[in-house]
Structure 1
Amino acid sequence: MARITVLGGTGYTGSNIVKEAARRGHEVTSYSRKPTENPERGVSYVTASLIDSTERERAVADADVVVATLAPRGEMEAGFVDLYDDLATLASASGARFGVIGGFGSLRPFEGGPRMAFGDDVPAEYAAEGQTLATIAENLEKAAPKNLDWFFISPAAGYGSYAPGEATGRYRVGGDVVQFDENGQSFISGADFALAVLDEIDTPAHRRAQFSVMY
C-alpha cells in the first residue's frame, strides 16, 4: 500500500485516479480548491489552494507518490510552470515519486519532433494550456532534479469530461509520439486512463520518462 496524494483530486482526471487508488487499498489524499460532492470512502480530502507554498509543502510531505492533475486555468494560470517546478523540487527533497498528467499536445508528431502544442496549427482556445503543459514536460526531461523519480502521462486526443467513455479494463501504452488505432482514432475513457496511472504507480515501468495512453 502506498501513500498517494492527488493534486486536483476532485476534477475529472483526479477524481478517477482517486477512485481507482482507493479501490486498490492505497492511502489516498486529495487536494483541491473546491470540496467534492461525491467523496470516496476512506479518502482524505483537503480543500486548499496550491498557489500557497505552505500548502504545497504540506501536500508533498509524507507522500510516497504525488500525482499532479492540475490545469493552468483561472487563478492558477499565472506561474503554473513555476508551481510545478517547485512541486518537483519538493518531491525530490522528500523522496516522493512525482507523476504529472499532461495533455495530448505534449506529445510529438514524430520521433524527435517538436511537441505538438508548439505547432502553428493548434486552435487558439487550446494553445496556451497545451504549451504550458508541454513546457512542464520539457522541464522535467531537461532540468528535473537528478534524484527525482518522475513520470509524465499524456492521454489520447479524445479524452476528457466531454467524452467520459466506459471502463473496459484495457488500454495501450506508447511513448511520447502520437498514436492512433486502426481506424485513425485516438481515445481513452476516464476510468481506463486512471487504470493506467495506477498500474504505473503499482508497477513502475516509466522512470524519468513520458508516455501516452490510449486504446
Structure 2
Amino acid sequence: MSTSIAVFGGTGYAGGNIVAEAAKRGYAVTSYSRNGAPAEPVPGVTYEKGSLADPQTLDKAATDADVLVVAVHGADVDGKPLSAYVPQLTDAATGHNTRLGVVGGAGSALVAEGGPRLVDTPEFLDEWKPEALSHADVLEALRTSPDSLDWFYVSPAALFGSFAPGETTGAYRTGGDVLVTKEDGSSEISGTDYALAFVDEIDKRNHVRRRFTTGH
C-alpha cells in the first residue's frame, strides 16, 4: 500500500514540485488549493479545492493522508499568517497520527553557526520580512509543540522561487539550521531539487521533529 500525501498549496511553486516528485515515486497524492486543478495537472494526482483555514477540509486531509504537507504563503492564509494555524494543524496531525511536513522559508536559517538569521541581516529586504518572520514563527511553534506531533520543516536556499527556477541537477546538499551556500557564497536551489530533498525526507525520516536546510 503506497504512502498517501495531502499537499496544501499543491498547485504553487514549491507544492507543485513536491506533488510531481511524490507522484513520480508512486505515492497517492491529493493537492488542495483555492483553484483546484492547474492548467497542466500531474497525471494520477487528485486535485481538490480547499484551504487549511477550513477545519473540515483540514480534518479530511489529515484523515486520508499519512503525511500532511503545508506549502502555502507564510504571511497570508485567508487573511491570517500561517503561524496562526499551527494549533489546528497540530490537532489534526496528532489526532489522526499523520506526519506534518512544512515548506519553510530561508529567512529563519542562520547565515553561520551561532547566527544571525538571514532575515536579521542588513541585506534582507523589508518587503520580504512579513513572510519570512511568519515562517520563523511557524518553526518556533513546531519546536515547542507536544512530543506527539511528528513534524519536519525544510528551509530552501536563499534564492528559491518561480522567479528563479534554476537547474534540475538531481542532487542537493543539506545543513541543520545553517543556510546552504556554495564556495562563492551564493545560495540557491531549483524547485525540482528542493522537492527531491523534501520527498526524500518523507521516504527516509532523517529529520524527525527537526528543521533542515537544503541547497545546491
Establish whether TM, by shorter chain, passes 0.5.
yes
Q: Report the identity percentage.
A: 44
Aligned-pair CA distance for 1:85: 2.7
TM-score (normalizing by structure 1):
0.93
State the match for 1:78 in structure 2: 80
Q: Which residue matches 2:104?
A: 102
Post-superposition Cα deviations, 1:149-183, rounded to whole Å, max 9, x if no partner, equal 11010000111000112211110011111231112
1:196 aligns with 2:174: no
**Is the contact between residue 16 and residue 191 of structure 1 (CA under 8 Å) also seen in structure 2?**
yes
Does structure 2 conserve the Cα–Cα contact (< 8 Å) formed by 1:154 and 1:213?
Answer: yes
Segment of structure 1 superposing worse, 79-88 or 50-59: 79-88
SS of match in other structure, 2:102 = strand
For residue 3 of structure 1, report the CA deviation from its aligned partner.
0.5
- Counting matched residue pairs gives 214
Give the aligned partner of residue 29 of structure 1: 30
Cα distance in 2 for partners of 1:15, 1:80 equals 19
CA distance in 2, matches of 1:75, 1:104: 19
- 2:59 is matched with 57
1:136 aligns with 2:138: yes
d(CA) in 2 for partners of 1:185, 1:83: 33
- The TM-score normalised by the length of structure 2 is 0.93
| Residue 21 of structure 2 is aligned to residue 20 of structure 1 | yes
Matched residue of 1:61: which SS? helix
5+ residue gaps, structure 2: none
Match of 1:169 in 2: 170
- Shift in Å, 1:94: 0.9
Runs of 4+ in 1 over 6 A off after TM superposition: none
Which structure 1 segments of 5+ residues have no match? Answer: none
Q: Which amino acid aligns with 1:85?
A: P
Q: Does 1:213 align with 2:200?
A: no
Q: What is the alpha-carbon root mean square deviation over aligned residues?
A: 1.6
TM superposition shift of 1:23: 0.3
Q: Relative to structure 1, is the Cα distance of residues 201 and 180 closer, same or farther in structure 2, using a 3 angstrom cutoff? A: same
